[in-house]
Chain A
Amino acid sequence: MPQEHIEEYLEAIYDIAGREGTAKTTEIAEHLKNAPASVTEAFQRMKQKGLVRYESHKGVSLTAKGYKAATKMKRKHRLLEVFLDKMLHLPREKVHEQACKMEHTLTDETETALCKTLKGPTECPHGSPIPPCNLEVKNCQECFSEQNPTLEKRDKDIIAITSLKHGEKAKIVFVRGGGSVMQRLCDLGLTNGTIISLLREAPMNGPIEICVRGCKLVIGRGIAEKIFVQKT
């Protein structure tokens, strides 16, 4: 099974099941317009590689390794979409298909260069969030101002604060973007390395409430999605 197909499957599971959910075989088959039989076969192969957990009666879900690979592909895909839209001014409806083809050949080095050139975009042209990079940086400025392009890779699994479960604690490792909003977050005590916990979130992508340094703070979804944490 070619790498390209595996990556497509990973993305499909990511879209449907997300980080911890489960997707049904039929859902994936429909999503990729493949026959259910070949989908099942693909899942078996991916299970052998340790990318997914699969049981025919339960469905398929991503392992930590699979999730990491899937986010990487999503990142490349959405960065490419931004590039095709913003720089090459391709029609909106064509960027997705084109990005689908290009993403599999994009090297990590090109991905980093693309992110820098595009000034660290946070969303694709369709409004979906672009997952953060896996470089050893604490925020985007560092990457833009860095003379030496060989940044170390981050060997950690980082997630947006909004992906935490209620009551879960995590450490802030990376704040995307910059300017006055980031400074304000720092002033309110959300500095790198600070332990926070997610208390609750409002429905329909509403704001979240977190506990930081003994205070409760409400943060809008748009801002919260730029704060990345590592589970402790």
Chain B
Amino acid sequence: MKVDLVVALAGNANVGKSSIFNQLTGLGQIIGNWPGKTVEKAEGMLLHHGKHIKIIDLPGIYSLSTYSQEEIVSREYIALEHPDVVVNVVDATALERNLFFTLQLLEMGTPLVIALNLVDVAKKKGITINEKKLQKLLNVPVVPTIATKGIGVHEIVDAVIEQTTKRSPASKNTIRYGPEIETRIEKLERVLTGVNIGYPLRWTAIKLLEGDSEIVNKVGEKHPDVIVAANILAGEISDIHKEPCSTVITSERYAVAARIVKEVQTFKESEKSSMGERFDALSMHSIWGYVLMFTIMLSILMFMSFFGGWLSEIVRSLFESINPHMTGFWPDIAWTGGIVGFYATLSVALGFILPFYLILGVLEDSGYLPKIAYLMDRPCHTIGLHGKACIPLLLGFGCNVPACVGCRIMETKRDRLITVFLSTLVPCSARTVVILGLVGAYVGVQWAIALYIVDFMLIFIIGKILNRLLPGVSVGIIMEMPPYRLPSGKVVVKQAWNRFKPFLITALPLIIIGSIIIEAMRITNVLSLVSNALSPVTVVWLGLPAFTGFLFIFGVLRKEAALVLLMTAAGTVDIRSAMSPVQMIVFALVIMIYVPCVATIAALIRETGWKNAALISLSEIGLAILLGGITFRALSLFM
């Protein structure tokens, strides 16, 4: 495809880059009100006045001295891929800290357009920014925007195109440090001539003085003498300032940012504390915060259980009422295989999966997730993690795949590995379908909750064990707390739909086909052959009916399929006649724990490598079988 221009969106975390990206490209990047949503770069196309513009959405980044994995993605893209223009999205409510990054971009000599976002929120807080003055001071175009409403978004593109036609020399824009630093930057630039690592010269020199480990490694590979020179110069600077050189440079940048803010920003303090502030105080309270958190979690679970059960029952009776009740090979295949497969899938999708995605969207968009990270930081330390780990774990309730990828917000490899492992144990919406749709509907909601509790205890215990096995300590949480905002209905619905679509496209056909195959196998008695082969585990150890054996294999593809196919395999829609309550609980427990689904395994391989992925999957199979058998024996005693 023809590409006339490449534009990258960059800026601090949670300033609205993905919102602008979605507005420009019409795509559905996940957005929400918490830092660290975007961990991979995304691409999209835009046709603007006959120009084909490629838009790149980058993960949030606070500084070019990168800290976590996703920030490196952004830095390398900006510095090495040379996009035609970088649109620096700036949060108008936190101008000073955002400008700190802007200054670094200018330093790199990147052609820049500033999107001054969230001007509406700033206004509510009593902050007004003179964007004309800001434009003049920075010598780059500044466009005020309200990304969520699409205001100013197309003006950004106009500014981008204008910027490419009359590119002003970048050197004019860069900030100047004190003379004692400038002379040393120049000295180092002279030493650096002839050393090319792809980054701009002045910027490389500054990064070397700062002791940036990535750059030091890159230059040091071929030119160790440069590093020696840089260290001497940096030492001189820190002797003058009695502070490490990197801190000196950072402080100077902040001083410049503060000076600019003082000139362009006026602030009128509003007297009354806003609703958000008051809700902040409640939701982060030492006691009420936790009460609120547990209430929210429990009510979501209860709601899902009752609403889901009710809705899937309606869908089912609707289809059952048109059952022609024909018998024979082909009618059986068509009805019990195809139609039952279809409506059973539809009932779990409408009853459990879609509602959960809507609830998750509300949680994400409101800004509540970071509060959970704050509340749970201390408990997370007991398993050697910090509060940020809660965010991928919570995302895991929707689907384990984004949870695994989301673990990139953890700073160290060890923390990442532990969080990835634990997130595959979080009951995702597919497992929720099995737990609520089987145990919750036929045994009782208290047993469904018991299964959740068992799962959480398991996560805790495995976390403890991993903490022992993997040496090292967590670095601790450093996280921005975004203010609350009213979730936008449009965003929530769109987001839920974007997450739900892949389910309809991949899972629905897969389950229907699986359902037809199983029905055919049942009629031709092939099913019993497969099931008998697995019966030592399923029947003897787990105490389940023989036909479940095949379901466990199929469940690797999609876990919710296990419930749908259970009906097909049992040859009846009324599972109660085919399984006892104990069997249902054991079945749901094993489904809940054993090996993540294929999509998650693929994500595991990508995030942690073959070895760890295999290790995680195998240990979970073992654990599921072990616990399943024990539960069967324990529950059989009194049920």
Contacts and interface: CB of A to CB of B under 8 A. Distances in A.
A complexed with B: yes
Interface of A: 137-139, 141-142, 145, 178, 180-189, 191-194, 200, 202-207, 209, 213-223
Given A191-B254, A209-B374, A216 B243 contact: no
Interface string B369-405: 0100111011000000011000000000000000000
B374 A207 contact: yes
A80 to B, nearest CB: 24
Given A207-B477, A220-B477, 8 more contacts: A142-B242, A181-B478, A184-B62, A185-B478, A186-B247, A186-B250, A206-B377, A223-B478
Given A141-B238, A187-B250, A220 B67 contact: no
A109 B287 CA distance: 46
B238 A145 contact: yes
Interface string B255-271: 00010000000000000
B97 interface: yes
Nearest to B371: A218
Contact of B251 (A192, A216, A220): A192
Nearest to A181: B475
Given A138-B243, A141-B238, A220-B478, A209 B284 contact: yes
B369 to A, nearest CB: 12
**Residue of B96, B478, B479, B481 contacting most chain A CB atoms (<10 Å):** B478
Interface of B: 62-63, 65, 67, 93-97, 100, 235, 238, 242-244, 246-247, 250-251, 254, 258, 281, 284, 286-287, 370, 373-375, 377-378, 386-387, 475-481, 483
Given A213-B94, A218-B481, A184 B243 contact: no
Given A142-B242, A142-B244, A191 B250 contact: yes
20 contacts: A184-B478, A186-B250, A188-B62, A192-B251, A193-B251, A200-B281, A202-B374, A206-B375, A206-B377, A206-B378, A207-B378, A209-B374, A213-B258, A214-B93, A214-B94, A214-B96, A217-B481, A218-B481, A219-B478, A220-B477
A101 B62 CA distance: 49
A19 B244 CA distance: 31
B481 A207 contact: no
Nearest to A210: B481
A218 to B, nearest CB: 5
Nearest to A224: B476
B477 A219 contact: yes
A216 B35 CA distance: 12
A218 B67 contact: no
Contacts of B247: 138-139, 182-183, 186, 191-192
Given A137-B242, A189-B96, A207-B378, A183 B481 contact: no
A186 B377 contact: no
A128 B378 CA distance: 17
Contacts of B62: 184, 187-188
Given A187-B62, A187-B63, A187-B100, A218 B93 contact: no
B278 to A, nearest CB: 13
A189 B254 CA distance: 7
A141 B387 CA distance: 29
B479 A218 contact: yes
A178 B387 contact: no
B192 to A, nearest CB: 22
Given A180-B67, A189-B254, A202 B478 contact: no
Contact of A215 (B63, B94, B375, B386): B94
A217 B62 CA distance: 13
Contact of B377 (A180, A184, A215, A220): A220
A189 B63 CA distance: 11
Contacts of A194: 254
Nearest to B378: A206
A220 B238 CA distance: 28
Contacts of B479: 217-218
B480 A186 contact: no
Contacts of A223: 475-478
A169 to B, nearest CB: 15
Contacts of A220: 377, 386-387, 475-478
B352 to A, nearest CB: 33
Given A189-B254, A207-B387, A218 B243 contact: no
B249 to A, nearest CB: 9
Contacts of B378: 202-207, 221
Contacts of B377: 202, 206-207, 218, 220
A213 B97 contact: yes
**Residue of B67, B243, B246, B375 contacting most chain A CB atoms (<10 Å):** B243
A214 B95 CA distance: 8
A209 B286 CA distance: 12
Contact of B373 (A184, A214, A218): A218
Nearest to A182: B247
A205 B381 CA distance: 11
Contacts of A141: 238, 243-244
A209 B478 contact: no
B286 A217 contact: no
B320 to A, nearest CB: 52
Contacts of B254: 189, 191, 194
Contacts of A192: 243, 247, 251
Nearest to A206: B378
A227 to B, nearest CB: 11
A180 B250 CA distance: 13
Contact of A218 (B95, B246, B370): B370
A218 B370 CA distance: 9
B89 to A, nearest CB: 16
Contact of B243 (A142, A187, A202, A206): A142
A123 to B, nearest CB: 12
B14 to A, nearest CB: 11
B340 to A, nearest CB: 50
A215 B478 contact: no
B476 A222 contact: yes
A136 B243 CA distance: 11
Nearest to A137: B242
B477 A216 contact: no
Contacts of B373: 218
A209 B370 CA distance: 12
The 9 closest A-B pairs by CB, nearest first: A220-B476, A187-B63, A206-B378, A216-B481, A220-B477, A186-B250, A203-B286, A191-B251, A207-B377
Contact of B244 (A178, A193, A216, A218): A178
A193 B93 CA distance: 22
A203 B62 CA distance: 29
B286 A202 contact: yes
Contact of A188 (B97, B243, B476): B97
A191 to B, nearest CB: 4
A49 to B, nearest CB: 35
B96 A213 contact: yes
A218 B96 contact: no
